[in-house]
Amino acid sequence: MKLYGYWRSSAAYRVRIALNLKQLNAEQVSIHLVKNGGEQHSEMFSQLNPHHLVPALIDEDEQGEFTLTQSMAIVEYLEEQYPQHPILPTNLKERAIVRAMSQSIACEIHPLDNLRVLQFLVKEMGVDEEAKMKWYHHWIHLGFKALEVQLADTAGQFCFGDSPTMADICLIPQVYNAYRFNVDMTHYPNIVRIWLQCNQLPAFANAAPEAQDDAS
């Protein structure tokens, strides 16, 4: 397998955690999201993903190599194709709950604070740095506030019970971003506790941005 990603991409970070939890190896290819106007827009990468977003995963089956995009689709693919060390509960209702928590992060928080959205705010809408950060913090707080309430019901050591799931795979990169941009985390004790717990596991620690070869 080959994973096209970027050290600070939270969507690629999700896939790195999933690969590690499942003890799968993938060659890492760095697509620098800032250098040269963003390598995600290059001819080479556009052929892998016309949406110009990392990650992209190459795997192969009996028909040959194929490319997958969208981190959540990739994580679900890994779960089905490589069922060892499951990242979803076996119970149907519980799987739906974990997927919903995951999507609350991946669909409701992350896209609003993505690089191209922030770049559009600054370059096209004339937003200054302070307003950009207000926007950034707003969407994280809105999502984390609600998640914190849900976690009071669902969490054990991790977001759902006592083993890591797709919800933790989504949460940890989002918390990394929150700390990176100085979001005040004092009102999210469950989230912070899970962040600390996950980072003790090599699967999470080895997937962290600063642990990647392209970290600069």
Q: Which residues bind ligand GSH (CB under 6 A)?
A: 9-11, 33, 38, 40, 53-55, 70-72, 106, 114-116
Distance in Å, CB of 88 to ligand GSH, minimum: 17
Of 140 and 155, nearer to ligand GSH (C-beta) is 140
Q: What is the Cα–Cα distance from 216 to 214, expressed in whole angstroms?
A: 6
Alpha carbon separation from 100 to 2, 18, 55, 79, 159 (Å, rounded): 28, 17, 21, 16, 12
Q: What is the Cα–Cα distance from 58 to 70, expressed in whole angstroms?
A: 12
Of 111 and 202, nearer to ligand GSH (C-beta) is 111
Q: What is the Cα–Cα distance from 46 to 40, expressed in whole angstroms?
A: 7
Distance in Å, CB of 101 to ligand GSH, minimum: 15
Distance in Å, CB of 162 to ligand GSH, minimum: 26
SS3 at position 91: coil
- Strand (E) or helix (H) holding 101: helix 92-106
Of 50 and 64, nearer to ligand GSH (C-beta) is 50
Rounded to the nearest angstrom, the gap between the alpha carbon of residue 39 and the centroid of all alpha carbons in its chain is 19
Distance in Å, CB of 201 to ligand GSH, minimum: 22
- Alpha carbons within 13 angstroms on the beta-carbon side of residue 204 total 23
Distance in Å, CB of 54 to ligand GSH, minimum: 4
Of 116 and 187, nearer to ligand GSH (C-beta) is 116
Structure-token match 């600070």, residue found: 8
Of 124 and 162, nearer to ligand GSH (C-beta) is 124
Of 71 and 212, nearer to ligand GSH (C-beta) is 71
Distance in Å, CB of 116 to ligand GSH, minimum: 3
